[in-house]
Every structure is written in C-alpha cells, then in structure tokens.
Chain A
Amino acid sequence: MTSASDRLLDLDRVVAHTFPNGLRVRLYPDRLVPAVSYYTFFRVGSRNERPGLTGISHLFEHMMFNGSERYGPKEFDRVLEAHGGTSNAYTSNDLTAYYDDFATEALPTVVDLESDRMRALRITEDGLEQERAVVKEERRLRTENSTFGLMEEQLESLVYQAHPYRWPVIGWMDDIDRIQRSDCLDFFGTYYAPSNASIYVAGDVEPDATLRLLETAYGAISAGPAAPPVPAGEPCQRGERRAAVRYPAQAPAMVAGFRGPAASSPDSAALDVLQVCLSAGEGSRLKRRLVQELEVAVTASVSWGWRIDPGLFMVFLELAPETRPQRAEEALWRELARVAHRGVGLREVERARRQLRSFVLNELSTHNGVAHALGQAEALLGDWREAGTALEQYRSVTPADVRRVAAEYLDPVRRNVVWLEPEAAR
C-alpha cells in the first residue's frame, strides 16, 4: 500500500487517449503555476540509425525548427516567444523529445505550431545545409574539443560492438556531411508520423477542451508505416577492453563502462540504488574512499542511464596531474569488488532510497518535469503509469539485490576502460 506522502504523481488525474491515427495523448492538469509544459515524444533515436547515416535523428531534430506548411522558416520560435513561450528539444539513443513551456493562454497557438510541423514539415536543401553547419559546430563543442566527450565516444564504441548504441547520438563527422535531403524525407515519413508519436501536456489546462483541441489539430494526419525493427543483438563480452585518448590535456582522467540491463528489467532500480551508494553525496563510497581518503581522484561520478536496450553503467574519474593512473584504477576496482563481494548495509540502502525519493520529488516539482517523466516512462518502459511507481520499485530493492547486480554487471571480465593520456600540444 502506498502512503499519501509517497504518492509522487497523482496518476488518477491523467487523462489518456489514443486517436485513430495512433497518436497517443496524456494530459496532467495541475493549476499550481499558471503555465503549461507540452512534450512531443517520437520513438526514434540513434538506435534506429545505421552506419553511414549516423546522426540523422539529431540533425533532423534541428530541421524541425525550420518551417512547416503554415509557418515559414524562423517562425516557430518567433510565434512561440511572442506568446510568452520557449521551446527546445533533445535527441537520445532511444528517442527524440520536443517541449514547449508557455503561459496558459498560448495553448491553442502551441497546438497549431506543433501539429503543423508534424503534418507538413518543410524540408529544404537550404535548411539542411544551414543545420549541418550548426550541428558540426555542436560536435566540435561537445566532442572534439571536450576531453570527456572524446572519452565517452570511445567508451560507447568499446562497450557495444554490434548494437547501434556503439555510435554517438550526434553522429560521426563524415556521416553528418553525408546526409541528404532525400534521407530526411524518408526519415520524416517513417518516424515522425502520429503513429510513432506521443504528446504529454502538464499544467494549467482543462482536459476535455484540450482533448478536443488536439483532435481537431492532429486527428486528420495520416498514420505512418511501421518503423523497421532495430538490430539489438550484442555478443557476450568475454574479457576486458581498453582504449586510450591521447590529447594535449593538463591532467589524466578515466571512464569505465559496463553493459547493464534494459530499462524494463527489475535490476534497473537496483542499479539506481547502487549508483547512489557509489557516488551520490559526500558520504558515498567512491567520494569517501577515492576522493577524500586516498586522494587518487579529484572527482568521482557514476551514471546509470535507463535505455530501451541494455544500457551503460559508467564511472568517471578525474585525477590530479601528479597521480599515478594505475593507482587510481586499482582503487576503483577494489571499491567495486568490495560491493560485489561484501555487499552494502541496510542503512546504506535506506540512505540511497531517501536520496532517490528527494531526487524524484525534485524532478516532479515542475510541469516540465511531470510531462517529461510521463513521456520517458512510456518511451522506455511502455507505460506512462510507470512514472508514478519509482518509489515502490526502490522500496523493494534489498541489500542482497545491490550486491547481486554489482557482481553481475560490474564483473571485471565485462569492463571497458578508456584513459585520457595527456600529451604535449602538437
């Protein structure tokens, strides 16, 4: 039984509907702040790409702001801002999400803008060339001139040998150069049809009127073809894999990665708990041992990202310039082995649960956070209701579960390591 104080989202408030063309709509009315957050999720990301066309999902995300039938180039954000709103989007391995945050009065305008680009996006050569240049600058910013970006890209290619998660979401530079307008037209026809999309609206809205508004705007858009299946296989890893990034950096750093389970696995929640035990807060294991006691790392962080297919559990360490890399690496393996062999205590798990509860509450404290959580749950887990069950999942995680997932997924045989090796400027 869930107590009232632990009910993160009042799921009874959600009005869920699917139109005949397959478009799914979920509304979450909340009057606390006179604003609305409006998300459109498309079930496409770099996972749906193929070699030679990597980065098309992300490049296409940029194209969505370049004009549609009734709104010319540059109009989307102009109209939205003129109505007191703002928009942005992101592309991940699994999905592409667009959001608009705006003052309540702008809802009809936003529905018109969003439905027009889903129905009749303009895909022009000029628009493609402009966004190609912009995306190349983005890649230079986030990857080629970023030590972490360079390392992360190497790591993903080590962890995944066959699965599409092996290439970066932003794509390889050559592929960004290669994408043609015809590729974009095909991409739009397949992945941006209403049958591959879901809309999440949270905030100061009246559900019945909003549903009618959405039906009028989106109801006549044709459903699309079924998206091609994703080749999701990956051979079993039977030994450690390593790579180095030599770069004119001032200090060494390392990332280690392990292939975890799919988001839908019950182990995902246990890995969340493990992540918190390892690196959330000053009292976490890696911060205490590697940063405070041994001082072999300046920072230590862990990220465990839920994905549709088995995702990546990643540890990132930055070292002081004079620290011997091997010493830091051995200290990290010892800490991971300690959890796998001896496990964690009940109090440690309880501490992690409380931290996760605060984290989830924070996430759900804005309209944007609520709309995003509903969309993310449906995209990764197949059901928006999962957005409200996080705490129950964490409550069921035991110390034995944490030990088991550490032993299973952080097995040294399955680890992947990338070192940043500083070198003199060329």
Chain B
Amino acid sequence: MPEIHEERLANGATVVVARRPGVPLAAARLQVRAGAALDPPGRFGLAQMVAMVARRGAGARSGRRLDDLVESQGAHLSASADEDAAVYSLSAPVEALSSLLGPLVDLARAPSFPPAEFERLRRRELAALAHDADEPGLIADRAMLLEAYVGHPYGHAVEGRVKDMGTMRRADALAFHRRHYGPTLTTLVLTGPLDVGMALAEARRRLGRWKATVEDPPDWPSPAPAPRRVVVVDKPDATQTQIRLAAPGFPRRSPDYFPAAVANAVLGGGFTSRLVEAIRVNRGLSYGVRSRFAMSRSTGLFTLSSFTKNETAGELVQVALDEIARFRDEGPSAAEVERATSYLAGLYPMSLETHDQWADRLADLQLYGYGLDEVRDYRERVRAVTAAAAHEVGRRRFPADTGVILAVGPARQVVAQLERFGPVRVVPVRRVL
C-alpha cells in the first residue's frame, strides 16, 4: 500500500495524495460527480460535451495554449465522462506536476467554453456517432443500455444521440456547469513518486479557492425486473451477430460485491468460465464470451456479451441461458470456487501496478463510497467467499426469465432464431444512435 493522505478542504473538496515508488511519472484525476445520468431530457450527451469543451479552454488559457503547455512537457491531459462523473485525467513527468495542477483544476473550476470550440466539438461528436454506427459491438453496447434502463437516468450512452447533439447549444453547457459543478462534488487524486508536502499544498491552493454551491446528485433506484424480451437491431449486411443479455443488478457499494465477483468468475469471467467452456471450447461458437456485473453509483446491470456467425445466434443464446440456469439450480462446485477465488486474489496486485491504476482506484473509492480497507483486505475478502454464498447470490442476481436479449445482425436471419426466448422487436440502427 502506498502512503495515502486524504483531506477534506474547507469548501468541501476532497484531496487524496498517494506517494508510491516507481517510474518518474505522476498521475492525477480530477473527478466531479456530474456524469451523464444528469443529462437533461433532450440533451443526452451534455455531460460529456461539458467535459470535452472544458478541456478546450479554462481560466485565461485557450485550448491550444493548454495543449502546448501540457504536451511540450511530455504530459497527457484528457477529459471524459461516464454515467456518474466527469473525469479530467493527467499523466505527466513527476517534475512537471506542479506547473500543471493549476491548469488541471481550472478545467472544472473555470472553463470558458469557447463558442467556436463548442460548435466544432458538437459537429465532431455528431460525425463520430456516424462512425459508431459502423461498429456492431458498439451498437450492441449502446442498445443494451437503452433497453436495460428504459426511462432511467443511466439509460443512454454518455456520447448522446444524434437528435440531441444536433440541437445542443453552448448555453446548455454553461447551465449544466453552473448547476452541477462544485467543490463538494469534486475529488482531486495525485499519485506517483511525488513530494507529498508540495502536492498537498498545491492542491489546497488550487482547489481551495473554488466557491460554488451545488446539490448532491440523487440516488436512483434500480429499474424493476420485467419479463424477458428480445430486441434485434437490424444490420442487414453483417455476417456475424453481436449478442448481449442484460438484467438489473446492484450498485458498486453493495454487500453482494464479493460473492457476486466470485459467482461471476465461475459463470463468465476469465478464460475457464462455464460460458467460455460451453460456447468457445466445446462448441466453437465464438471467439469470446464474458459476463459481468457492471456497477455504477446508484445501481447496476448484469450483462453477458458475445458474438457468433448469423446462423448460430439462437444456439449461442440458448447455451448461455442454459448455463445461467444451471448455475442458479446447482451452484458452483467447491473446486470452481477455489479456482475463482485464487484467480481473483492472485490477479489483484496486478490491477494496482501503475500510478494510473492507483489514481483510478482512489478516485473510484471516493465516487462509489467504499473504503480503503476494501483495497487492503481484498484478497482475504475474496478468499472468504464460500460456494454456498456464491450460489445464493447467483440465484438472486443471475436472471432466470427477466431482462433483455439484444442482437445486432441481419433481422431476416436472426429473428426466427430468437423468437423462442420472448417477444421480438426489430429496430433500425439509427434508432440506437
């Protein structure tokens, strides 16, 4: 474990500084709990636009000056959003950190939203959505969100939709920033072989002078489980069908976290899961298949992803559902749980090998509200999961006859194969984007 200092400033902002040995780079994350779940109706994609346009000018600095300042020192600065937060990520030679912290904090505190840059990025994002339409896996992931979270704040892609991006205005970005960006929702994480005193002092100075009052985002309930249905996104030219299965899950800070991690490792994580064995190894139906619990701050999803030639789409779905049913009925064997826990525990140190990985983990911990004790005791907690506990959580969390089955492929070939799993609706690709 690195040496970690956490501090709440007078204005409510949180600063976390973690000093650790390693390569002479520093990683910083400036995280604001203003993600795509806060996108207003008709303005899907706004949270991410705010983050990206902020990167193009803040304080007295233009985007171009910022590019020069950052890149001439060998650093990299990017802005993005997910459903819960906007994140400004900096990776820099450790000696460049002090000169870049001010500009980093300004991105959230004082973005200028240059009008020309706003319009340019809006046009670019619209064009990017057209290219996304040519990526079957990406369409499947987007459609899965829409269908699994109908009417829910998590039920759209952070990239937004064509019709919303077409009418978005700079005033929307200003209003979003005013309403949702403030120090009480902001965490600054700094990691690397840095001078802790300098880092803390600099973080206090830069972040401490931000005055803005904003409300905490609410917690949203999980969508209610609904009978299983099928959605086919028609892609007439595809020779391979992308397949997803999604059902309501749970938030990151759930007591189910550890038993569910183990149950999922047995069902569909890693290279030796039951799904890989049934779909790839025994039947050669796909190159890859995996299931996971995707966890956000308020709630989450159970998801399964794979792909196969059009002719075997129905067979793949059947095999996947059979494996889920078998887990729910019989649970995992003691040997499977032993292997899964060794796997998860053994790999954990490798998920915290770099400064960037530590910065991400420490930012996550603030966002989702779990403690450092989880990081410290991860291996013991995983090893403490029993076969009975994994079975119990699997019975509750792996869907029996609920959720949505989603396929992206040629409807004329795929629909007939999927009708036996539930009522089928066919939508064109443009409805997803």
Measuring CB to CB, which residues of chain A are less than 8 angstroms from any residue of chain B? 5, 32-35, 74, 77-78, 81-87, 101-103, 106, 129-138, 140-141, 144-147, 247-251, 253, 280-284, 288, 291-292, 295, 298-299, 318-321, 347, 350-351, 353-358, 361-362, 364-368, 425-426
Per the bound structure, the CA–CA distance linking A363 and B127 in Å amounts to 32
Per the bound structure, the CA–CA distance linking A87 and B71 in Å amounts to 35
Q: Mark B35-73, 1 if CB is under 8 A from A, else 0.
A: 000000000000000000000000000011001101111
Chain B residues whose CB sits within 8 angstroms of the CB of A32 once the complex forms: 21-22
Known contacts A141-B287, A141-B307: A364-B23 contact under CB 8 Å: yes
Query: Across the interface, do B236 and A425 meet the contact criterion of CB distance under 8 Å?
Result: yes
Known contacts A145-B239, A248-B237: A84-B74 contact under CB 8 Å: no
Query: Across the interface, do B240 and A140 meet the contact criterion of CB distance under 8 Å?
Result: yes
Known: A140-B307, A145-B240. 18 other contacts (CB 8 A): A33-B349, A33-B352, A74-B281, A81-B340, A86-B343, A86-B347, A130-B281, A145-B239, A248-B237, A253-B131, A280-B71, A295-B120, A295-B123, A295-B124, A318-B131, A320-B123, A358-B74, A361-B25
Known contacts A78-B272, A351-B72, A357-B74: A250-B355 contact under CB 8 Å: no
User: Can you list 8 A-B pairs with a CB-CB distance of less than 8 A?
Assistant: A33-B352, A33-B353, A77-B270, A84-B346, A281-B67, A298-B124, A355-B74, A426-B236
How far is the CB of A396 from the nearest CB of chain B, in Å? 18
Query: Across the interface, do A355 and B71 meet the contact criterion of CB distance under 8 Å?
Result: yes
Report if B136 contacts A (CB, 8 A).
Answer: yes
Per the bound structure, the CA–CA distance linking A35 and B350 in Å amounts to 7
Chain B: which residue is nearest A5 at the CB level?
Answer: B24
Query: Across the interface, do A298 and B338 meet the contact criterion of CB distance under 8 Å?
Result: no
Per the bound structure, the CA–CA distance linking A361 and B70 in Å amounts to 17
Chain B residues whose CB sits within 8 angstroms of the CB of A291 once the complex forms: 124
Chain B residues whose CB sits within 8 angstroms of the CB of A82 once the complex forms: 338-339, 342-343
Query: Across the interface, do A81 and B270 meet the contact criterion of CB distance under 8 Å?
Result: yes
Q: Mark B118-151, 1 if CB is under 8 A from A, else 0.
A: 0010011011101101111100000000000000
Known contacts A33-B349, A137-B286, A298-B128: A282-B63 contact under CB 8 Å: yes
Find residues 283-322 in chain B having any chain A CB closer than 8 Å to their own CB.
284-287, 307-309
Report if B280 contacts A (CB, 8 A).
Answer: yes
Chain B: which residue is nearest A319 at the CB level?
Answer: B127
Per the bound structure, the CA–CA distance linking A191 and B38 in Å amounts to 56
Per the bound structure, the CA–CA distance linking A353 and B340 in Å amounts to 43
Measuring CB to CB, which residues of chain B are less than 8 angstroms from any residue of chain A? 21-25, 63-64, 67-68, 70-76, 91-93, 120, 123-124, 126-128, 130-131, 133-137, 236-240, 270-272, 277, 280-282, 284-287, 307-309, 338-340, 342-343, 345-347, 349-350, 352-356
Indicate the member of B135, B343, B350 with the most A CB atoms within 10 Å.
B350
Chain B residues whose CB sits within 8 angstroms of the CB of A84 once the complex forms: 342-343, 345-347
Per the bound structure, the CA–CA distance linking A253 and B133 in Å amounts to 13
Per the bound structure, the CA–CA distance linking A91 and B336 in Å amounts to 30
Chain A residues whose CB sits within 8 angstroms of the CB of B285 once the complex forms: 133, 137
Chain B residues whose CB sits within 8 angstroms of the CB of A146 once the complex forms: 135
Known contacts A74-B281, A137-B309, A291-B124: A251-B287 contact under CB 8 Å: no
How far is the CB of B89 from the nearest CB of chain A, in Å? 13
How far is the CB of B75 from the nearest CB of chain A, in Å? 7
Known contacts A137-B309, A281-B71, A351-B72: A365-B21 contact under CB 8 Å: no
Per the bound structure, the CA–CA distance linking A283 and B69 in Å amounts to 10
Query: Across the interface, do A103 and B238 meet the contact criterion of CB distance under 8 Å?
Result: no
| Cross-chain contact of A250 among B67, B130, B339 (Cβ < 8 A) | B130
Query: Across the interface, do B23 and A365 meet the contact criterion of CB distance under 8 Å?
Result: yes
| Cross-chain contact of B127 among A288, A298, A362 (Cβ < 8 A) | A298
Known contacts A81-B339, A82-B342: A282-B272 contact under CB 8 Å: no
Chain B residues whose CB sits within 8 angstroms of the CB of A368 once the complex forms: 350
Known contacts A247-B237, A320-B123: A282-B131 contact under CB 8 Å: no
Query: Across the interface, do A362 and B63 meet the contact criterion of CB distance under 8 Å?
Result: no
Chain A residues whose CB sits within 8 angstroms of the CB of B75 once the complex forms: 358
Chain A: which residue is nearest B346 at the CB level?
Answer: A84
Query: Across the interface, do B271 and A86 meet the contact criterion of CB distance under 8 Å?
Result: yes
Query: Across the interface, do B349 and A365 meet the contact criterion of CB distance under 8 Å?
Result: no
Indicate the member of A102, A291, A299, A320 with the most B CB atoms within 10 Å.
A320
Per the bound structure, the CA–CA distance linking A353 and B76 in Å amounts to 14
| Cross-chain contact of B131 among A102, A250, A426 (Cβ < 8 A) | A250
Per the bound structure, the CA–CA distance linking A397 and B134 in Å amounts to 40
| Cross-chain contact of A137 among B23, B135, B287 (Cβ < 8 A) | B287
Per the bound structure, the CA–CA distance linking A283 and B56 in Å amounts to 12
Chain A residues whose CB sits within 8 angstroms of the CB of B280 once the complex forms: 134
How far is the CB of B271 from the nearest CB of chain A, in Å? 4
Query: Across the interface, do A129 and B67 meet the contact criterion of CB distance under 8 Å?
Result: no
Chain B: which residue is nearest A287 at the CB level?
Answer: B67
How far is the CB of A138 from the nearest CB of chain B, in Å? 4
Known contacts A35-B350, A82-B342, A144-B240: A354-B72 contact under CB 8 Å: yes
Chain A residues whose CB sits within 8 angstroms of the CB of B63 once the complex forms: 282
Chain B: which residue is nearest A138 at the CB level?
Answer: B287
Chain A: which residue is nearest B126 at the CB level?
Answer: A320
Known contacts A84-B346, A365-B354: A354-B93 contact under CB 8 Å: yes
Chain A residues whose CB sits within 8 angstroms of the CB of B350 once the complex forms: 33, 35, 101, 366-368
Chain A residues whose CB sits within 8 angstroms of the CB of B21 once the complex forms: 32
| Cross-chain contact of A362 among B23, B73, B124, B135 (Cβ < 8 A) | B23
Per the bound structure, the CA–CA distance linking A144 and B237 in Å amounts to 10
Chain A residues whose CB sits within 8 angstroms of the CB of B71 once the complex forms: 280-284, 351, 355
Query: Across the interface, do B239 and A140 meet the contact criterion of CB distance under 8 Å?
Result: yes
Which 5 A-B residue pairs are closest in the complex by CB-CB distance?
A84-B346, A354-B74, A133-B284, A320-B127, A283-B67
Known contacts A351-B72, A358-B93: A251-B237 contact under CB 8 Å: no
